[in-house]
Amino acid sequence: MPSDLIKPQRFYPPPLHHARTSRVSSALPIPFAQVSPGKYTVIYPPTIDYDYMKQRPQHLMDQFAADGHRVYYLNRWERPAPPQEVRPNLFVVHSAGHIDHLPRSRPVVLWMSWAETSNWIDRIRPDISIYDCLDDFPQFAPAEWQIVPRVNLVTATSDALFRKMRDQHRNVILVPNACEYERFSDLSSVEAPPDWPPIDPNQSVVGYVGALGAWIDSDLIARIGERYEMVLVGPLLGHRRIQHPRIHYLGMRPYEQLPAYLKRMDVLTIPFSDIPLTRATNPIKMYEYLATGKPVVSTAIPEAERMALVKVGHSHEEFVQHIARAIAGEDENEAAAAARQTIARENSWALRYEQIRDAIDAVWQEKNRR
């Protein structure tokens, strides 16, 4: 899916003012150790729940926490529960009111991936505020015009978004999406999913993993189903479901289980329509697919055309031809699989985090020189 972040009302729950609220006591029922010296406090305002479709925000917050920074990840839906340490240094905050009572160390970094959370700049008063630009939604332009001038740093996931943001802010860096290489690169010990459709094991399977929204080319899905078994794993969010005996929709599955489905697929696809949204997207799935070593076929979105070893179909016919050649084993060998995995290994979330950390350090040093 485009950049794979869930956005209102694309995937996010309703806008913030519709969120459930709860009365919050200033006395938290759990102790908090002080933040380690020299480390940031990173706050991610309510946008998407931590355990809902793991995407770029969760991956990056995991990386901050792994490097010793204290992360407060505010869930989108509120409930009367204390903050929960889901991994070392990363606390999921279930009630927004708790954030005012949690220990912080400087610099306090506010990381925002939805432009409509700019009100959190006034609430948190961070030392460093960052806007992570993920998609090109025209309806979000008014909110972006408000947030961009107020932040210290803008990160952009694609070249198109980088060029767009560079016209609006002096400090913009390109930080594409990435993958958890270790999770997707070794499928040998992964067990088969229990809900795999009843497909003849001798039949090749074309696969797609990700949300199914209006950006999916339904006609292309139908074209693939005319020739091959196709399995789609992900929630239906505006996609016109194709009724065909060879097209199988399995719905959303937990992130941790995705390798099991990818193991059963022979060719992995990105069947996006040619629309402004997809022209600016850098799909996470592209890197996760490459990590498996399996052949990857995409429609002609710019970020796929820039990625070596991703086969690009500029028409439905060419797309299906790429699938046919991959299934026939043309140009497929251990060296080709290893080359794909090398690309994925070089595009890890850890490396993306290092780039972001260096940019934050530079902003903080500049502020302290003033």
- Which residues, 6+ apart, have CB-to-CB distance to 71 below 8 Å? 41, 42, 43, 44, 61, 64, 65, 89, 90, 91
CB atoms within 10 A of CB 245: 7
Look at residues 299, 268, 275 and name the one whose alpha carbon lies nearest to residue 160.
275
- Which residues, 6+ apart, have CB-to-CB distance to 188 below 8 Å? none
Helix 334-345 to helix 284-292 angle (10° resolution) is: 140
Distance CA 289, CA 347 (A): 12
Structure tokens at 146: 């408000």
pLDDT the model gives residue 267: 98
pLDDT the model gives residue 38: 74
**pLDDT tens for the 370 residues of the chain, in order:** 454 444 443 443 333 333 333 334 444 544 455 666 679 999 999 999 999 999 999 999 999 999 999 999 999 988 889 999 999 999 999 999 999 999 998 999 999 999 999 999 999 999 999 999 999 988 889 999 999 999 999 999 999 999 999 999 999 999 999 999 999 999 999 998 999 999 999 999 999 999 999 999 999 999 999 999 999 999 999 898 999 999 999 999 999 999 999 999 999 999 999 999 999 999 999 999 999 999 999 999 999 999 989 999 999 999 999 999 999 999 899 999 999 999 999 999 999 999 999 999 999 999 988 7
Distance CA 229, CA 207 (A): 9
pLDDT the model gives residue 33: 58
Cα angle at 9 between 4 and 10, to 5 degrees?
A: 30
Look at residues 230, 141, 159, 183 and name the one whose alpha carbon lies nearest to residue 3.
159
Q: In this structure, are residues 265 and 292 in contact, taking their beta carbons and an 8 Å threshold?
A: no
Distance CA 368, CA 171 (A): 17
The domains of the chain, with CATH numbers, are 16-26+33-178+348-369 (3.40.50.2000), 181-345 (3.40.50.2000)
